[in-house]
Amino acid sequence: MAEIIQEEKGKKGGKRRPKKQSTRIDMTPMVDLMCLLITFFMLTTAFSKAKVMVITMPDKEDNKDKDKDKPQIAAFRTLNIILSEGNKVYYYIGMADPKKPPLPTLVKTNFSKDGIRKILLDKNRDLFTKIAEYRDKRVTGKIVVSDTTLDNEIKRMKRDDKKGPIVLIKADEKAKYKDIVNIIDEMAICNIASYAIVDINSVEKDMLKNAPK
C-alpha cells in the first residue's frame, strides 16, 4: 500500500511531461441537430401549399329578371357595409331609397374586434350560437360526425336561417383588396348565412360624402 501511495504522489508531482489532451471532438450533438433539421424541413415543405378562400358569385345574366320577383326582405334584416379608403368600414341598416326619406345614417367603424365584428355577431346572434354550440359538441365528443357531415350540417343551418342579417358588401373606388378579403373573412368568422358583393350606387356615394370621417 505504501508503494501505491507513492506512485500516486509521483503522478501528481511529476511535471516533466505535460499531459497530452486528445483533440477528438464528440460529433453526437451535431448529428442530433442535423437529424432534427432534416426532419423539420421534410415536414414543413409539405405544409407550404398556399391557402385559398373560395368565393362564389351569382350569375351575371340576372339582368333579365331583375325587376321580376325580388323576394321582399324586411328592411331591418339588411345590413349594408360600405368599404372605403384607409381601412374604413361604414354600415347602415335598411334600404337607402331617396323616394322614402329619411335616408339612414352611415355609422363609421373598423375591422377590429369591437368594430364590424361586434355588429355582425349581435345581429347574427342566434345562428352564431347554434353553429358554435354544434362545433363545441363535436369538439368535446358529445356527437361524433365526420368533417363532411359537419360542413353539410353547417350549410343546412345557414340555409334554414330566417332571422340572420342579409349583408350587402359594397366598396367605393378607393378601397383596397385586403378590405374586401377582410370583410369576407368576417362573414366566415361570424357565420353569416347570406351575403353578396354588389356595386355601390349613387345614393350611397352621396351618403359617403356626408359621412363622419
Residues that bind another protein (CB under 8 A): 24, 26-28, 30-31, 34-35, 38, 41-42, 45, 49-60, 83, 113, 117-118, 121-122, 125, 128-129, 132-133, 136, 171, 173-182, 184-185, 188-190
Q: In this complex, which beta carbon is closest to another protein, that of residue 72 or of residue 202?
A: 202
The residue type at 108: K
CB of 3 to another protein, least distance (A): 10
CB of 73 to another protein, least distance (A): 21
Distance from C-alpha of 189 to C-alpha of 121, rounded to nearest angstrom: 9
Q: CA–CA distance from 154 to each of 127, 133, 158, 162, 173 (Å)? A: 10, 11, 6, 14, 34
CB of 14 to another protein, least distance (A): 18
Q: CA–CA distance from 1 to each of 5, 8, 9 (Å)? A: 6, 11, 13
Q: In this complex, which beta carbon is closest to another protein, that of residue 60 or of residue 213?
A: 60
Residues in CB range of 121: below 8 A, 6 or more apart? 128, 190
- Give the max Cα distance, the chain: 119
CB of 127 to another protein, least distance (A): 12
Cell numbers 373598423 correspond to: 110
Q: In this complex, which beta carbon is closest to another protein, that of residue 179 or of residue 207?
A: 179
Q: In this complex, which beta carbon is closest to another protein, that of residue 85 or of residue 160?
A: 85
